[in-house]
Every structure is written in structure tokens, then in C-alpha cells.
Amino acid sequence: MGSFLVVLLVTAFCVTWVRASRRSRRRWLARLDLPGRWQWQDHTGSLELEGDLDQGRYRFVETGSEDQGRWLLRRHELVLRPDDGGAITALDVRLFEEGKIGIDGPGRERRIYVKQRGNVVPLRRPA
């Protein structure tokens, strides 16, 4: 009976921990708010992310070049898989403040992107 109680307590702890971790990740993804258009601060170039909060399609537009494909957020890494079959790239993502992220990785060292907001205001209906 005692071992059953220990197993029950460990199971309850694990379930609680997993739920808290998932909730924390969802809050972080909502704060990060990756989908949208990001302008490279103080430079010409942009990053457009479409899809869900943690995966979708991307398009990098810089002076004279364009790269597009699929993106996936794995922990704090933005994993890019180009459509043209090029090398998969993992970029470190840092949230500085709402609407401002830092990206660091091969070919995109220490870049800061600012989210471009549209002029559409979402209207919420009363519950």
C-alpha cells in the first residue's frame, strides 16, 4: 500500500509539472508573437513569418537576396528549412521586449528585428 501511495504522488507531481511547463511555454510563445513582419533594425531587410506561434513559413528579404522555406521554434532556436534544399539553419532567438527580438546564428549574427504593426485594430466581442 505504501509503494502505491509513492507511485501516486510521483505521478501527480509529474502531471502537474508537465501542465505547468506547457502553460509557461504557451505564455512565452504568446509574448514572443513570432508570426508577422519583422523589420531589421537600422538596416534594409525583413523577416516575414507566417503560420502558428511555433511553426510555419518564413521569408527573409535582404538587399539583393531572398530566402524562403519552413520555420520551426525549438526551445529558443528558430530552425529554418529552405525550400531550395539548402542547409538547415538554427538561429538563437531572444526576446528583448514586446515587438523586439534578437536573432543570432550563421550568416545572421547579432541582428535585432522590430515587429511591424498593421493599422488594423482587432475588435473583441463581449463574452
Give the pLDDT confidence of 14-64 residue by residue, as tens digits. 989 989 888 888 888 888 888 999 998 888 889 899 988 889 999 988 888
Q: How far is CA 20 from the centre of its chain?
A: 19
SS3 readout for 55-88: EEEEEEEECCEEEEEEEEEECCEEEEEECCCCCC
Say what the pLDDT of residue 85 is. 82
Give the mean pLDDT of the chain.
86
Residue 120 has pLDDT above 80, yes or no: no
First to last CA, the chain: 48
% of the chain residues with pLDDT over 90: 33
Q: Report residue 119's pLDDT band, with 50, 70 and 90 as the boundaries.
A: low
Q: Which three cell numbers stand for residue 45?
A: 531587410
Say what the pLDDT of residue 91 is. 92
Grid look-up 528579404 returns: 61
Say what the pLDDT of residue 31 is. 86
Residue 45, classed as helix, strand or coil, is strand
Residue 127 has pLDDT above 90, yes or no: no
Give the pLDDT confidence of 69-114 residue by residue, as tens digits. 999 998 889 999 998 888 888 999 998 888 899 999 888 888 899 9
